[in-house]
Amino acid sequence: MTVTFARPLADRSLEGGAVGSPWPASARTAPGGELLLGGVGLAEAADRFGTPLYVLDEAEVRSRCRAYREALPQAEVLYAAKAFLCSAMADWVAEEGLGLDVCSVGELRLAAAAGFPPQRMLLHGNAKSPEELRLALRLRVGRIVIDGLAEIPRLAALAVADEAQRVLVRVLPGVAAGHHAAVRTGVAGQKFGFPIEGGDAAEAVSRVLAQPSLSLAGLHCHLGSQITEVEPFLEAVDRVVALLAGIRDRHGVELPELDLGGGHGVPYLADEPELDLAEFAARVGERLAAACAEHGLSVPRLLVEPGRAVVGPAGVALYRVLAVKHGTDGRVFVAVDGGMSDNPRPSLYGARYTVRLVGRASTAEPWEVDVVGRHCEAGDVLVPNAQLPADVRAGDLLAVPVAGAYQLSMASSYNLVGRPAVVAVRDGRARQLIRRETVEDFLNREVGR
């Protein structure tokens, strides 16, 4: 089976027609070296809105939301807001029938202000503040994920017994998955959840069931990030269903929900794999049914929380070249007007990207360069060993795909460089969603000397 993300397959060339993976499905080349996204020229968008600039293909986001709903019609799909959130994104997700997974008071308030239905929200967090819990309860969010023993009495004291708050208990099934150690969250020895092995998860369940103001809806687990194989999810199903059976035997209750989290991988380079959504849906469903049958359990409703897989491939980052420097060792550095402040992933995780020249045609032979950022760090390298035309020069425009997730959401103001603007494109039109952060914004935060 293959993933059904409506990506063009017939023409994956970089000249003429569809561009192909890892670019959005709407990406098309045009005369003069222009690249169109959602019918909008990227060079035109850069001239209009400035750079660095993040361009989001609305149709790609919506298509990916629909692909999840179609592949998992009986499951509840919640978009993981930590990947990227703004009011427009909340609207798109809501309109496409997905729920929303939030993990801070900021994400919760923005979603609420955008009109996202609270009953379709789920609140995460290993260290939720009293403010977050009170707001979640006041809004009546659909579920709150319990992540620590101290959170149980705290939440129970804030909740109202005759309107019990639905909760999930986050467990660690002991399955390691993900592209980097920093994002492997399904094993013991890190800050999230309760290990199944050793009895911590069972103890947390017992304590939640003892609270009349809390209603235990099910169990939650999250294995990691950038997972491209189905097998880790199958192993997690086996271990969590065994825990569900133990809860039934000990407490006489069958929990109706099982949340397998997200972490679904996408390709950042043309030769990289992605999680096959159709295979995931089929094999996880089959394994869940089989495991439940083995233990004599009713099959719980499945929940999944994709973030990157929904928005990552829909985004393209645009940078203007500021300088080209030839090192004494033969290396060539192409410095751009952004960097680790708007995309920390290469510095944090060694993330790899592709990059291409847009806005002008070049017949020059490709050469190997390091596309570097403008920040005062030697490690501020966006795309090492990139292939760009040998005549790349200051003023050129570069485009980096798969920029929709965990870039702006993790952005900083390092060196007081403002975070970029975000523009949505669709049907030949571009509209600004988030304005550029300016020096005036920094000055306005200062309240004394």
Q: How far apart are CA 92 and CA 86, in angstroms?
A: 10
Dihedral pair phi/psi, residue 442, rounded to 5°: -65, -45
Distance of CA 189 to the CA centre of its chain: 23
Count of CA atoms in the C-beta half-sphere (13 A) of 287? 22
Dihedral pair phi/psi, residue 346, rounded to 5°: -60, -40
Torsion angle in degrees (nearest 10) through CA of 96, 400, 304, 434 = -50
Residue found by looking up tokens 């969590």 in the block: 240
What's the DSSP call for residue 230? S
What's the DSSP call for residue 161? G
Q: How far apart are CA 92 and CA 167, in angstroms?
A: 26
Residue found by looking up tokens 């425009």 in the block: 397
The DSSP result for 97-108, as a single string, is: T-EEEE-SHHHH
Q: Is 334 exposed, middle or buried (0-12, 13-18, 19+ CB in 10 A)?
A: buried
Which pair of structure tokens corresponds to residue 335? 């410095």
Count of CA atoms in the C-beta half-sphere (13 A) of 347? 19
CA nearest 81: which of 131, 119, 124?
Answer: 124
Helix ranges (DSSP H) in 56-129? 58-71, 87-95, 105-113
Q: How far apart are CA 101 and CA 80, in angstroms?
A: 5
Q: How far apart are CA 140 and CA 27, in angstroms?
A: 41
Dihedral pair phi/psi, residue 107, rounded to 5°: -65, -40
Residue type, 422: V
CA nearest 35: which of 357, 396, 402?
Answer: 357
Point out the residues that are catalytic: 376
Its sign, for the CA torsion 402, 406, 259, 291, is positive
